[in-house]
Amino acid sequence: MTDVFISYAWSDNQVIDPDRTEGQWVTALYEYLKSYLWGDLGRQPNIFRDENKIRGYERLTPTIAEEVRRSQILLAVMSKGYVQSEWCQEEARVFLEKFKLESYRKLPICKVIKNLPEPRDQKPSEFQELLGYPFYEVKDGNRIREYRPEWQETKEQFLQRIKDVSEEIAELLESIDSSAVRQRPKALFPAEIAVYLAETTEDQQENRDKLRRELEQWGCTVLPQMPLPYNSRLTARVQDDLSHCVLSIHILGERYGAIPEAETLGRSVIQIQAELANARSEETTKFTRLIWLPPALNIETNQHSIEKAQIHLIEALQNSDEFIQTPLENFKEYIQDKLHSLIRVNEQRSIRRVYLIHHECDRLSVATLEDYLFDQDFEEVNTSLFDLEESNREKYHKTCLIDCDTVIVYCHSASLDWVTFMLKDIRKADEQGTKLKIVYFDGIEPKSGRVRTMKDVRVIYQTAECLPDELGSLLS
């Protein structure tokens, strides 16, 4: 049985400089992949590539067709030559026919994009829904520069991409046959922990690739696993992916990004993803959105290089409680800490201990909410006490903050400054970020946005006599 069959157009393995012996692109891909895959599998891989220079046949030879059927993974080197080659298309069709006869959880095809930006009419059509590994970068807006190992300025990128491909092939082989991979290191997070890594612009693609590699090495499932549709189906696709995730990561760059076909408000895909993730974070405390801006991008000093629409988006998102501008390595550490925190939140089976905090001036108005909480099936409900000596009152307050898993700050007549002070106090007692924090405004809606921009705080407004349904949903 062959591990990997490399399907490629012969034109993609031609030497650019006839005076040099090195420069066969597919041969270099094969040699480096074999080395990397040996390490990822813990054994010598079996990789096949057709070295027959004469490909004048309209159909595959029986020998090559059989080799395709014997292969576990198809590695397709996408290029202009590939999509125009009947031979390559036939290799892909034979493999897809084999795939239909066997049951796989995931299409066992790895797509390497040599020099062809993702076309809409990619052949075969099944390839269109697969994420690929681009071995090129776009220079000056539209000029494509391939990653080639013989060019010193692109060799590092070429090798990193092959490492990415090797890791995906190892994962695909393991999903087909767990015994195919040996000595896999223990993952930092379970595979059911999914992270939405938002699509970004070309200038930040390298940073996105680094984060994807890190997340996958940690054991996380990274979504989206297929390219987003830039049409009317975009919103539904993003919402569906977000619904399976505990965290979303959004990387901002110099460019505003493409605007989908059906977008009526003129928003880019970057902005749409960020807004949908924000809506998701407002629905549940078990999801967080992170916005990252590289330290080198300063909207004050780099206005000449950052698109105007992107400056407006950055300014709008800077007010987010989870807007981060640190070096990438520091951001990775922050993501890891945040994932650990979210896992702890998601592992909480139910709310058991509630602490209701209110100002002395609201002792009468809080009674309805107080009665509601005592009627619920909680293990313990504590409320603010004012009849104790000040030192004992402070000790009681700190103990309740530590012991509770949910804290509600009630405000009817108290000032917003008092609410803000209480929230800071709560955060000191909740360094791990595992407590459910609710601010409950009874009959008022403050003009200030200070509380609303605290993304780890749920804000509830009671405007009628009955308690809002939102409270019951949060406490259930």
Q: pLDDT tens for residues 429-440?
A: 887 777 888 999
In Å, how far are 297, 299, 309, 431 from 305, measured between CA atoms? 9, 9, 12, 38
Average of per-residue pLDDT across 409-414: 92
Q: Of 3.20.20.70, 3.10.20.600, 3.90.1720.10, 3.40.50.10140, which CATH number belongs to 186-347?
A: 3.40.50.10140
Query: Which pLDDT does position 50 carry in this prediction?
Result: 85
CATH homologous superfamily for the domain 1-184: Toll/interleukin-1 receptor homology (TIR) domain (3.40.50.10140)
Could you please report the per-residue DSSP string of 287-325? -EEEEE--TT--TTT-TTTS-HHHHHHHHHHTTSTTEE-
* Cα–Cα distance for residue pair 346/429, rounded to 1 Å: 19
CA torsion sign, 464 to 466 to 469 to 475?
Answer: positive
Q: What are the structural domain ranges in the chain?
A: 1-184, 186-347, 353-475
Could you please report the per-residue DSSP string of 72-98? EEEEEEESHHHHH-HHHHHHHHHHHHH
Q: Of 3.20.20.80, 3.10.310.40, 3.40.50.450, 3.40.50.300, which CATH number belongs to 353-475?
A: 3.40.50.450
pLDDT over 70 at 450, yes or no: no
Query: Which pLDDT does position 182 carry in this prediction?
Result: 63
Same fold, 1-184 and 353-475: yes
312 Cβ contact list (under 8 Å, min separation 6): none
Structure token pair of residue 449: 């946005």
Give the global pTM. 0.59
3-class DSSP state of 175: helix
Name which of 8-22, 40-54, 290-304, 316-330 the model is least confident about.
8-22
216 Cβ contact list (under 8 Å, min separation 6): 167, 171, 222
Neighbours of 36 (CB within 10 A): 20
Q: ω before 62 within 30° of 0 (cis)? A: no
Query: Which pLDDT does position 349 carry in this prediction?
Result: 46
pLDDT over 80 at 216, yes or no: yes
Query: Which pLDDT does position 126 carry in this prediction?
Result: 74
Query: Which pLDDT does position 188 carry in this prediction?
Result: 81
Average of per-residue pLDDT across 9-35: 80
Average of per-residue pLDDT across 418-422: 90
With cut-offs at 50, 70 and 90, classify the pLDDT of residue 402. confident
- Element containing residue 38 per DSSP (H, E): helix 25-41
Query: Which pLDDT does position 342 carry in this prediction?
Result: 82
